[in-house]
Amino acid sequence: MSGAAVIGFFRTGLGTLPPVRIEGRRTYLRPPRLRDWRPWVALRGDSRSFLTPWEPTWPEDALSRAAYLRRLRRQIYEWRQDEGYGFLIFERDSRQLVGGIGFSNVRRGVAQSASIGYWIGERFARQGLMTDATAAAVAFGFNQLGLHRIEAACLPHNEASQKLLLRLGFTREGQARAYLKIDGDWRDHLLFGLVDTEFHPGP
């Protein structure tokens, strides 16, 4: 489904996200649904200490149904406005939820760019699943959303994320001081970028 088709989907008046499915070799990605709340809460809850050092401070009700609904409504709005595209990641064989990935700050016009961010549950980390899912998402961004450039940022001590980005062809382009507020503090971030002509997904 192209970016134009995704936006057109909402003109039907449906209150859900489009039936997009992105295929990786070991994973598949699709937009979140209301029924994903319980597995999402279970995975995030089990991985809380693993995830919080890399994410904005969790609100007190982070794992509540109300918080999930707020997140879902926000993602529907972003899809409708062509501002962002969020997905959940599932392991293909087991169909288990393993994480999430998405594009934010979509910029059209002369930029045609977006930022990519991702997370994975602790028990699924270091198995190559996030690399597979990110490669699939990047291909979707270039081929279906028509992006020319995809950007990413990670903490300087997040070696796993840096290795993932470099493995997919991203180039480290610099460092931004006090770039994002992570786990309650403004943190420096390393900045990475990838343009469509540089992306060569594996077989």
Q: Is the pLDDT of residue 174 over 80?
A: yes
C-alpha closest to that of 31 among 81, 90, 115: 90
Burial of 5 (0-12, 13-18, 19+ CB in 10 A): exposed
Strands (E), the chain: 22-23, 27-30, 85-91, 97-107, 113-120, 149-154, 171-182, 185-195
The pLDDT tens digits for 178-188 are 999 998 899 99
Q: What is the pLDDT of residues 102-127, one digit of tens each?
A: 999 999 999 999 999 999 999 999 99
- Mean pLDDT over all residues of the chain? 91
Task: Reduce the DSSP state of residue 25 to 3 states and report it.
Answer: coil
In eight-state DSSP terms, residue 128 is S
pTM of the model: 0.90
User: Is residue 92 within 8 Å of 132, Cβ to Cβ?
Assistant: no
pLDDT at 15: 60
